[in-house]
Amino acid sequence: MKTNRRTFLKAAAAGLASSLVPGLGQADQNPILGSAHVREARFWERLDDGRVRCGTCPHGCVLADGERSHCRAKANFSGRLYTLSYGNPCTVHVDPVEKKPALHFLPGTRAFSLAVAGCNFRCLNCQNWEVSQTSPDRTRNLDLPPEAVVASAKKYGCASIAYTYSEPVSFYEYMRDTAERAAGEGLKNIWVSNAYINPRAVEELCNHIHAASLNLKSFSDDTYRVLNGGRLAPVLDTLKIVHSRGVWLEIIHLVVPTYTDDLGQIRAMARWIAENLDREVPFHLLRFTPRYQLLHLPPTPEDFLVQARTAAREEGLKHVYMGNVPGGTDVIVCPDCGRVVVSRRGYLLLENRLVHGACPDCGAAVAGRWE
């Protein structure tokens, strides 16, 4: 049976009403509010007629009572906005940090990685559409509040927690609170995202995260609208904020044939990064493989990625990698002397020659968070 909004509210009320959330005085009248996984959203405002506007991302969803947000993870309930799956992830894995991808961040360590169903984008090429293009009431979830995430990350020997796979903007509150707690207990936090978020929300998040692997899906607003269901400008704003706040940033661009396989645009993107952020921001050019609604397209030819990497380097970027390609991420070279300072095979770290973040041969600092 297809679960519509109303049956979800009923199911949630029936199944999850055991523990009351402190501070929600109406809980006894509105059973869904009794769920530990339903919490008031962090950013929203009240409009007239019981409507609310979500303030988390640039979509700015305006929702009447009972309506669900575009990301499918928030709802207006009696004139207040709630996140529906706080502490209720559908995916949890222990991954090498390299898989995020984060190549200049704590090499060889593990990241406790989790996702909640939902996304504020509609990428035609989505690799994780089973969790991103559904809602938290339609996935099998774990009961894992922030303190349990932190305890599990420690138990599995992880140096960091990664918010990833789906779109963490859609589970902002859970991410934010988990990150704050994790940071307080000495763990790092990695935000893997489409960067489609409002400035106020990202500013607050930056208080608690240490690294961000952010997607720059194209350098054309038209392509963003068609391929992803978003806009370019807010993404660029996020990249600037994250970088200016001192969070370690790596930028990911998936090269989708016929959509973003445009050397001129990749050049413009690289130039923008060099001019507005830093030439040492790692730039990942990922090979597309046919997924979701783009099964008819071929994989990105490897020679195109090589040309794109050359173009990005010509625009001044020091660390350009090819992802999903054998050997494409295997070495980090010193930007000054060109010698290999970190070597890997796939996700496996073979050698890290850096000494306190500097090249052992010429002494140049290599940008990253190495210790």
The one-letter amino acid code at 34 reads G
In angstroms, the CA 24 to CA 12 distance is 16
Q: How far is the CB of 359 from Zn ion (least distance, A)?
A: 3
Contact 146, 87 (CB under 8 A): yes
When the beta carbons of 20 and 362 are compared against Zn ion, the nearer one is: 362
315 φ/ψ angles, rounded to the nearest 5 degrees: -80, 0
Q: How far is the CB of 334 from Zn ion (least distance, A)?
A: 3
Classify the phi-psi angles of 338: left when phi > 0, otherwise alpha if psi is within -120 to 50, otherwise beta: left
Q: How far is the CB of 339 from Zn ion (least distance, A)?
A: 5
List all residues 6 or more positions away from 148 whose beta carbon is below 8 Å from its beta carbon.
Answer: 87
Work out the angle at residue 100's Cα, subtended by the Cα atoms of residues 319 and 192, and round it to the nearest 5 degrees.
100
Q: How far is the CB of 368 from Zn ion (least distance, A)?
A: 14
Contact 368, 355 (CB under 8 A): no
Footprint on this chain of Zn ion (rule: CB under 5 A)? 334, 336-337, 359, 361-362, 364
Q: How far is the CB of 117 from Zn ion (least distance, A)?
A: 45
Structure tokens at 365: 């600092």
Q: How far is the CB of 341 from Zn ion (least distance, A)?
A: 7
When the beta carbons of 149 and 359 are compared against Zn ion, the nearer one is: 359
CA dihedral 205, 207, 211, 213 (to 10 degrees): 20
When the beta carbons of 269 and 359 are compared against Zn ion, the nearer one is: 359
Q: How far is the CB of 352 from Zn ion (least distance, A)?
A: 14
The one-letter amino acid code at 215 reads N
When the beta carbons of 137 and 330 are compared against Zn ion, the nearer one is: 330
Between the CA of residue 2 and those of 7, 8, 68, 270, 302, what are the distances in Å?
9, 10, 15, 44, 42
When the beta carbons of 149 and 334 are compared against Zn ion, the nearer one is: 334
When the beta carbons of 338 and 346 are compared against Zn ion, the nearer one is: 338
Structure tokens at 217: 């899906």
Contact 254, 288 (CB under 8 A): yes
In angstroms, the CA 66 to CA 79 distance is 9
Q: How far is the CB of 337 from Zn ion (least distance, A)?
A: 3
Nearest to 162 by CA among 231, 94, 66: 94
Structure tokens at 297: 């397209």
When the beta carbons of 138 and 279 are compared against Zn ion, the nearer one is: 279
When the beta carbons of 51 and 339 are compared against Zn ion, the nearer one is: 339
